[in-house]
Structure 1
């Protein structure tokens, strides 16, 4: 069972998940990074370039999903170092600091509230997010070409690529594909036909969408939605 709500941290989402039964699960690429709690342990989920298959570990999971590009400044690690990975917080932070945060989350009334308070504290310490990152996401999510996005932001293609690696975990072309996948799934889940979804999400045609969705998720759109 999965549930989520908006966080008090702008742009973030709080969520919980309890596997319904044994077997792996599938986490789709979304351009985000998460701070996870599982059985008293904290982990960091890096940005995915393809569907991540979980190991089906039993027990409750909780997490805070940070908006694209914001987690590296809060967690102190470039996103590309965690691409397609799940890593214990103790492997990223000094041991004493990781233990303190883990104890703080475990002492909260529930892990969701503990994670949220931890995220809010880290955000206050880090200061406001870089506005350039949200502009990159907005431009690419609107379907703007990468070169045009770089020109409009006045940073050049090479700098855009470097900033994207550090903030999102991959280059702007991959980020644009992941954001397009999110748009397509939102449309299709809202009842839009696959042909119309392909056109509105920015694919050349439905066949193009099917190929791209399969590469990113390991499943066809019809199977994924079914």
Structure 2
């Protein structure tokens, strides 16, 4: 029997081209005027190499298991995460989340991303008062398109300056981003040993290089599995081997560690469980 999910808004929006090497995308979420159960008001996220800022335009939320609360009008910074995590909304919400490549946000702010692993805090406490002003403008905007335009108009000249005026990179898959990060870390600065390169990667992106490669490989594998599932010919053993895993069990163990579910379970839950909406729009 086909599961009918509630008619909530969950949408991924791509950034403008000059910001494609800085912003991975925008997640729009609205449950306004949609009756949901308590379970459907959960939001499940995977471990991630990305940083984010979420604006609570309407409603509130909390990080399950921590007691941390985001109230209406707050802007919440989230660092890269080493494990899957869940948030809960007690009532209807409307949120806008901007997803940053961690090394880009490091270039913009100077933050040591290793210190931001698994953190959530008020955005202005982490990023400074300059970001408080842009948050106020985002909250005052009349609709999501205007909010995204405000963010991009503010960020584009700052990102141009942070990357030294070089031509912007195009959007790239996660695996290619990780490889470019590793090459840049090895070629930067006076110390070019493997240990120094690893320190740079962690300062720029939070995670060690090995974890970044695992995260990219799981994302690549789940995208391939979803496409094959939609085509009606999914073979997880073939997906695993093409992605560089030793076998299907290796893929399943890694996916479970980084998402909380095996690939087959995750595909089922994305189709049947409203709380997996972030996976549905991303993977």
TM-score, length basis structure 2: 0.67
Secondary structure of residue in 2 paired with 1:63: strand
2:50 and 2:99 in contact (8 A); partners too: yes
The Cα offsets for residues 198-223 of structure 1, whole Å up to 9 and x where unpaired, read as 11111111001111111111111111
What residue ranges of structure 1 are gaps of 5+ in the alignment? Answer: none
The Cα offsets for residues 146-203 of structure 1, whole Å up to 9 and x where unpaired, read as 8xx6997583321221111111111101111111111111111111421111111111
Give the aligned partner of residue 10 of structure 2. 2
Distance in 1 between residues matched to 2:115 and 2:238, nearest whole Å: 37
Distance in 1 between residues matched to 2:193 and 2:247, nearest whole Å: 30
What residue ranges of structure 2 are gaps of 5+ in the alignment? Answer: 1-8, 58-72, 229-233, 269-283
Q: CA distance change for structure 1 residues 56 and 156 in 2, over 3 Å: closer, same or farther?
A: farther
Distance in 2 between residues matched to 1:213 and 1:104, nearest whole Å: 39
User: For the aligned residues, what is the CA RMSD?
Assistant: 3.0
Q: CA distance change for structure 1 residues 83 and 152 in 2, over 3 Å: closer, same or farther?
A: closer
- Aligned with residue 15 of structure 1, among 14, 27, 30: 27
Distance in 2 between residues matched to 1:188 and 1:224, nearest whole Å: 10
Secondary structure of residue in 2 paired with 1:204: coil
Distance in 2 between residues matched to 1:187 and 1:2, nearest whole Å: 21
2:10 and 2:30 in contact (8 A); partners too: yes
Secondary structure of residue in 2 paired with 1:219: coil
- Aligned with residue 66 of structure 1, among 76, 95, 100: 100
TM-superposed CA distance for 1:15, in Å, is 2.2
Structure with max Cα Rg:
2
The Cα offsets for residues 38-95 of structure 1, whole Å up to 9 and x where unpaired, read as 123222221111212112354111122123521222244221222112221121144x
Count of matched residue positions in the alignment of Structure 1 and Structure 2: 217
After TM superposition, list the pairs within 5 Å mapping 1:46-125 onto structure 2: 46-56=79-89, 58-94=92-128, 96-110=129-143, 111-125=147-161
1:74 and 1:123 in contact (8 A); partners too: yes
Distance in 2 between residues matched to 1:33 and 1:141, nearest whole Å: 19
Q: Please say which of residues 106-115 and 151-160 is displaced more in the overlay.
A: 151-160
Give the aligned partner of residue 4 of structure 2. none
| 2:220 paired with 1:183 | yes
Distance in 2 between residues matched to 1:208 and 1:202, nearest whole Å: 10
1:150 and 1:157 in contact (8 A); partners too: no
Q: Please say which of residues 48-57 and 157-166 is displaced more in the overlay.
A: 48-57
Distance in 1 between residues matched to 2:242 and 2:165, nearest whole Å: 30
Q: Please say which of residues 48-57 and 159-168 is displaced more in the overlay.
A: 48-57
The Cα offsets for residues 107-160 of structure 1, whole Å up to 9 and x where unpaired, read as 3343333333333243134234999xx9x9638569xxx8xx699758332122
